[in-house]
Amino acid sequence: MGPLRAVLDRTADGGRISASEALELYTDAPLHALGRAADAARRRRFADTATIATYLIDRNINYTNVCVTACKFCAFYRAPKHAEGWTHSLDEILRRCGEAVELGATQIMLQGGHNPDLGIEWYEQTFSAVRAAYPSLALHSLGGSEVVHIARTSGLTFAEVIARLHAAGLDSFAGAGAEILTERPRHAIAPLKETGAVWLEVMETAHGLGVQSTATFMMGTGETNAERIEHLRLIRDVQDRTGGFRSFIPWTYQPENNHLRGRTLATPLEYLRLLAVARLFFDNIAHLQVSQLTLGKEVGQLGLHYGADDLGSVMLEENVVSSAGARHQWNLQELIHLIRSADRVPAQRDTLYNHLRVHWTPADDPKLDPRVASHFASTAPGAQRPKLPDLPLVAS
């Protein structure tokens, strides 16, 4: 393996690598050696808590499907005035928040389309109402693209939008809207969306105002390997300046019901390689979450051996990615079992990655509640939660 071995050893010991070295590792390093180095870097970072892998209980509440951006990979949006367009009432949003709290959720992710009828006042009223009714819920919501949209509809600067949302109750921004930040593939799949540079500007502005965020990456829409690594570099450069990205969450494009129609996809092996390289490249981002929502439980579990320290969430509701074909589901007990059978100790976390409950032994596991399961997709306003199917545990 020659020079690659020296690069892997350096990153496993905490040394920084360049984008060109990351690309070489991504394309040429033997898979198992890459995974071992990423796992060594994870264990080095977390030291005394390296045996733990975390999970979250949350709910994505998609407040509107009306959107003017028309991204080619999206199966969720409807154009303004479309017969199938809708926006949830505040009462409906609060109902779904209350149901999430009842089921043990600690976080709500409010996300939706770029609805031209929704200005800053709508968001302020919504966040304020949720905060007043359910103060225990962390509002990890919206993203850079929504900030750009609200700024346009309300005639405000990015900083003004962020400050007002934060004052109304927003705790932190999700990584929504990042998709891919490299300009050529971003313009190809979302020509009406803000550029990657503007998305990063919004995040840097938020971090400067004390509002942290996560960073994401959607793989598999026709980008090159070099463009994938460039996406990582752009995020790392901002993180060097701000320290505001709490975690990195790569996921894969889903091919159903959208204009791209699955002509390009990322394989599970490509994903695992990217996950491992991300752990080695992001010496300045603490947490790395694997996406079993888009890749399934088996790849999710494998990701814990390729640098990930977080298995995502029991996502009580999700509509956007499931509209494009993501149908992987699991209940809380299965998620805990996946972590434990990967030889890690499961721990429920909060939005800040604080450990709320560590399940050192099966005796520490929560009682079975079949309602705590991922994920109920319902885009119809006022829809009631259906009876969930039984989800058997993976055999030991």
Task: Give the pLDDT score at 78.
Answer: 87
**130 within a domain of the structure (yes/no):** yes
Three-state SS letters, 148-191: HHHHHHHCCCHHHHHHHHHHHCCCEEEEECCCCCCHHHHHHHCC
Query: 3-class DSSP state for residue 314?
Result: strand
For residue 317, give every residue at least 6 positions away whose Cβ sits within 8 Å of its Cβ, in sequence order, or none.
59, 60, 61, 96, 100, 375, 376, 377, 378
**14 within a domain of the structure (yes/no):** no
**103 within a domain of the structure (yes/no):** yes
**41 within a domain of the structure (yes/no):** no
Domain count for the chain: 1
**389 within a domain of the structure (yes/no):** no
- The tokens of 329 are what? 């589901």
CATH number at residue 276: 3.20.20.70
**275 within a domain of the structure (yes/no):** yes
**316 within a domain of the structure (yes/no):** yes
Helix (H) or strand (E) holding 110: strand 107-111
Across the chain, which has 396 residues, the per-10-residue mean pLDDT values are 84 90 96 96 96 95 89 78 91 94 95 93 98 97 96 97 98 94 94 96 98 96 95 98 98 68 79 97 97 82 96 75 58 92 97 97 90 64 40 33
Q: How far is residue 218 CA from its own chain's centroid?
A: 10
Hey, how many other C-beta atoms are within 10 angstroms of the C-beta on 170? 24
**12 within a domain of the structure (yes/no):** no
Determine the Cα–Cα distance for residues 169 and 184; give it in Å rounded to an integer. 36
Structural domain harbouring 307: 51-374
Task: Give the pLDDT score at 118.
Answer: 95
